[in-house]
């Protein structure tokens, strides 16, 4: 097998226009802190109907900036989903806050709003309410934001949407990121995500104060804004007002991201076609296909299938079998609370049983913009063979 025969679970789709955009930026005056980053910010804000957008060098940085802007600190609690990438929880730890999780809905694999309601009621009696809740739009399917927003108003917490998977997704026919049901929403442009800037992330919000706070903290805590300076001795002058970071996006990243953004709808349409074709190819297999919630239009970042409950022990064998046959299946996600770092903070296996059961049975099949139908057939044939080899079906 040559490396090109290998079908990964996800990958970037770079066009000649993308390459030209990056090369022309390389030849321009600015590699950082030039016009492309603000163009990209404006384009994302327009695309998702938000007032402000702040670029960062990763979604992880953007999540950290969002927590800081919402005032998360040492005595605070932040809740998120256990079925996510570790960054959704780590951002709260960077601020010294404690992290807790809310188990997932067994159909959508997203944070379950009913379990959130129960946990909040209990936390209120114990005086342990969270300052921020971070729902994650897993696989690109929006969470039940209306329910989460109602709870946010009832219990007085802020909401950061981790939409790392979900740029271009819609909730109740409106773009994820429009801020109707959250304070800040975060996108990732890592190469496996829907569009890429190599590394990169963006925080969008409708609140100017939050946007300014994030922008200042992404750039060493400094400002050059005339209405903020305590004096103005000349054009060289800037002031540091707080302790920030260097979380800035480069011009090269922004040029790539901007060029990719022009094909966002096309990428998502392609993923939906592939999704439909998988439905056809996989219809007689003894697996659970991804459920699509009404009133949501997923960006379809991932295609997670579930093996039958009776065969969870066979997941490793199916995974290895597929990998040996050139199918780059992956597992999304190892429940965050079972990571040794989080176990050292007091979590244990068994704490969030729905996420754990899901984890033991899941495999993500390849899904990316330029995946071909013949590659999909190859994936499904390999999967069938693996299920036969592992005693889950007969041919
Ligand atoms: C990818 C991802 C992140 C982190 O994104 P980076 O841009 O790689 O920092 C955070 N949360 C989720 C759910 C992700 O999938």
Taking the C-alpha atoms of residue 240 and residue 288, their distance in angstroms, rounded to an integer, is 53
- Classify the C-alpha dihedral 27-30-35-37 as positive or negative: positive
Which of helix, strand or coil describes residue 70?
coil
CB atoms within 10 A of CB 105: 21
Q: CB under 6 Å to ligand 1: residues?
A: 58-60, 84-85, 87-88, 136, 162, 164-165, 188, 190, 201
Residue 111: strand, helix, or coil:
strand
Q: Which of 36, 131, 193, 270 is catalytic?
A: 193
What is the rounded radius of gyration, in angstroms, for the C-alpha atoms of the chain? 22
For the domain made up of 16-261, give the CATH fold. Answer: 3.40.640
Q: Is 27 a catalytic residue?
A: no
CA 201 – CA 54 distance, rounded (Å): 9
| Residue pLDDT, tens place only, 83-118 | 999 999 999 999 999 999 999 999 999 999 999 999
Q: Tell me: the pLDDT tens digits for 167-218?
A: 999 999 999 999 999 999 999 999 999 999 999 999 999 999 999 999 999 9
Domain extent listing, the chain? 16-261, 264-389
For residue 60, report the distance from its CA to the centre of ligand 1, in Å.
6
User: Span 264-389: which CATH code?
Assistant: 3.90.1150.10
Q: Read off the pLDDT band of 325 (50, 70, 90).
A: very high
Q: What is the pLDDT of residues 31-64, one digit of tens each?
A: 999 999 999 999 999 999 999 999 999 999 999 9
Strand 327-328 vs strand 7-8: parallel, antiparallel, or unpaired?
A: parallel
Q: Which atom of ligand 1 is nearest to the CA of 332?
A: 15
Res. 1: pLDDT tops 80: no
Share of the chain above pLDDT 90, in %: 97
* Mean pLDDT confidence for 221-229: 92
Between CA 344 and CA 254 the distance in angstroms is: 38
Predicted model pTM: 0.98
- How far the first Cα of the chain sits from its last, in Å, is 25
Distance from the alpha carbon of residue 280 to the mean position of ligand 1, in angstroms? 30
Q: What is the pLDDT of residue 4?
A: 67
Share of the chain above pLDDT 70, in %: 99
What's the token pair of residue 101? 């999780």
Q: What is d(CA 51, CA 11) in angstroms, rounded to the nearest whole number?
A: 30
Give pLDDT, residue 43.
Answer: 98
């Amino acid at each position: 097998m040559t490396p090109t025969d290998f079908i990964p679970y996800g990958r970037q789709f770079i066009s000649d226009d993308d390459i030209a955009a990056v090369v022309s930026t390389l030849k321009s005056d600015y590699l950082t802190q030039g016009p492309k980053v603000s163009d990209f910010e404006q384009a994302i804000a327009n695309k998702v109907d938000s007032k402000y957008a702040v670029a960062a060098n990763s979604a992880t940085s953007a999540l950290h900036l969002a927590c800081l802007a919402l005032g998360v600190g040492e005595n605070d609690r932040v809740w998120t989903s256990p079925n996510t990438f570790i960054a959704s929880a780590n951002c709260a730890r960077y601020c010294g806050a404690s992290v807790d999780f809310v188990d997932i809905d067994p159909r959508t694999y997203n944070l379950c709003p009913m379990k959130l309601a129960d946990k909040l009621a209990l936390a209120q009696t114990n005086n342990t309410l969270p300052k921020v809740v971070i729902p994650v739009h897993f696989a690109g399917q929006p969470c039940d934001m209306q329910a989460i927003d109602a709870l946010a108003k009832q219990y007085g917490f802020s909401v950061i949407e981790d939409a790392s998977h979900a740029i271009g997704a819609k909730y109740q026919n409106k773009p994820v990121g429009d801020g109707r049901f959250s304070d800040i929403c975060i996108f990732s442009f890592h190469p496996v995500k829907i569009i890429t800037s190599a590394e990169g992330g963006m925080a969008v919000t409708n609140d100017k104060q939050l946007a300014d706070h994030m922008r200042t903290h992404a750039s060493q805590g400094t400002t050059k804004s005339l209405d903020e300076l305590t004096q103005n001795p000349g054009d060289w002058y800037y002031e540091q007002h707080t302790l920030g970071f260097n979380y800035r996006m480069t011009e090269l990243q922004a040029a790539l991201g901007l060029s990719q953004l022009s094909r966002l709808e096309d990428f998502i349409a392609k993923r939906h076609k592939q999704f439909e074709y998988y439905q056809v190819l996989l219809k007689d297999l003894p697996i659970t296909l991804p459920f699509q919630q009404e009133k949501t239009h997923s960006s379809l970042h991932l295609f997670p299938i579930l093996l039958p409950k009776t065969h969870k022990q066979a997941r490793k064998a199916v995974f290895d079998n597929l990998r040996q046959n050139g199918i780059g299946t992956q597992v999304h996600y190892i429940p965050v609370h079972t990571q040794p770092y989080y176990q050292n903070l007091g979590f244990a296996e068994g704490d969030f049983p729905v996420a754990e059961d899901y984890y033991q049975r899941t495999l993500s099949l390849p899904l990316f913009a330029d995946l071909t139908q013949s590659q999909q057939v190859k994936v499904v044939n390999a999967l069938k063979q693996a299920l036969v080899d592992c005693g889950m079906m007969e041919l």
